Structure 1
Amino acid sequence: MSYTTVGAIQVKNEEEVREVVADIKNDATETNFVVLGYEDGKSNCIQLVAKGTEGIAGVLPLMTPTFMGYAYIRVISGDAESRRPKFIFISFSGESVSLVKKGKMGTHVSSINTLFGYSHIQVQASLPSELDEADLMDKVKKASGADYDSGSNKGGYTSKVTEIKAEGSKAFSS
């Protein structure tokens, strides 16, 4: 068991943590979340708590009143024309965590960002109810730039990809 300094924190088995994060960023793997938490009795030592393929649903059971930690989740967002992976960074300090510990945790966020890398949204929460999947996905959609489901398509959208491809092929084969 080894510890590596990353900014203001010590990371237990950093190589394993970085491998899980790489899996999350790799579309070819099913791994889509990781949860890191503080090692018992150590206010600046982070360790792998969980990883999995259940996305937000896999993270929620770990977000208890006494839990302090971070989650990184890959979700798929977009519309009929453009589906892409997006990343959510959650900083969670349960409602029973002392204010002193919450404050210290805030100083570690940038170090955790170094481990996780880019995220489309960052969420700070103290209750699992603040991590509602529909709300998170709405925030991801709003943060993702182009939204082809808005405006004139708001009432519904029918993809015309097949027709467009056929017309393009016809035009170039003449």
Structure 2
Amino acid sequence: MSDGIEVEQIVESKPRRMPLATSLDKDAIREAYEDVRSDLTDTEWAVFKFDGPQIIVHGRGQCFEEFRQQFGDSERAFGYIRIQMGDEMSKRKKFIFLTWIGQEVGVIQRAKMSTDKAIIKDVLNNFAVELQAGVEPELDIGLFREALNRAGGANYGTGIRDN
């Protein structure tokens, strides 16, 4: 136009795809959580992973080595594990809540883990220690026991266990 009026062009842009809100398979997660906590079962751990926008029970088991194998470099997940602690005078079960963010997980998915963690902690709400890991060497029973000992306070045992 020659009369000095500028015409603004309206450019249509595609709407941004927003990530779907995270949800839980709450009943299955609660059942796995109670299974780990129960003294009537041998289940020592449960792992929870993402199936699209939903957190589901991925697996349960008894061996720490199996627990370690549940986590991959490109995955986000949560773990709940029972570890027997104590000395020769007192043995007790302690629980750890683990957040796993593998090294290949992207920035947005990493950032989303804080809100996703809050959602699952509504169900997994009883634990002595909360840990975060992202590389395989951090999934070490010795490190888990050290964290539980630090959280548990004084240890008065002699170091000699009665079997």
Matched, 1:33 2:45: yes
Secondary structure of 2:97 counterpart: strand
Matched, 1:24 2:36: yes
Matched, 1:48 2:60: no
Q: CA deviation at 1:99?
A: 1.5
Q: Give runs of aligned pairs for residues 103-142 of structure 1, distance below 5 A.
A: 103-142=111-150
Query: Quick check: 2:46–2:80 contact (8 Å CA) kept in 1?
Result: yes
Matched, 1:145 2:153: yes
Cα separation, 2, equivalents of 1:24 and 1:62: 16
Identity percentage of aligned residues: 26
Amino acid in the other structure paired with 1:47: I
Secondary structure of 2:89 counterpart: coil
Q: Give runs of aligned pairs for residues 4-23 of structure 1, distance below 5 A.
A: 9-12=22-25, 14-23=26-35
Q: Deviations over 1:52-84 (max 9, x none)?
A: 111x32211111111111000011001111110
Amino acid in the other structure paired with 1:96: E
Ranges in structure 1 where 5+ consecutive residues have no aligned partner: 1-7, 160-174
Secondary structure of 1:116 counterpart: coil
Cα separation, 2, equivalents of 1:90 and 1:38: 15
Q: CA deviation at 1:94?
A: 0.5
Cα separation, 2, equivalents of 1:126 and 1:32: 21
Cα separation, 1, equivalents of 2:86 and 2:78: 25
Q: CA deviation at 1:9?
A: 3.2
Cα separation, 1, equivalents of 2:139 and 2:109: 21
Secondary structure of 1:114 counterpart: coil
Structure showing the higher helix proportion among its residues: 1
Q: CA deviation at 1:16?
A: 2.0
Structure 1 consecutive aligned stretches of length 4 or more whose deviation exceeds 3 Å: 156-159
Bigger CA radius of gyration: 2
TM-score by length of 1: 0.76
Q: Deviations over 1:103-150 (max 9, x none)?
A: 10121112211111211111111101112111111111121133113x
Residue in 2 that maps onto 1:70 = 78
TM-score by length of 2: 0.80
Secondary structure of 2:156 counterpart: coil
Residue in 2 that maps onto 1:165 = none
Residue in 1 that maps onto 2:10 = none
Count of paired positions: 142
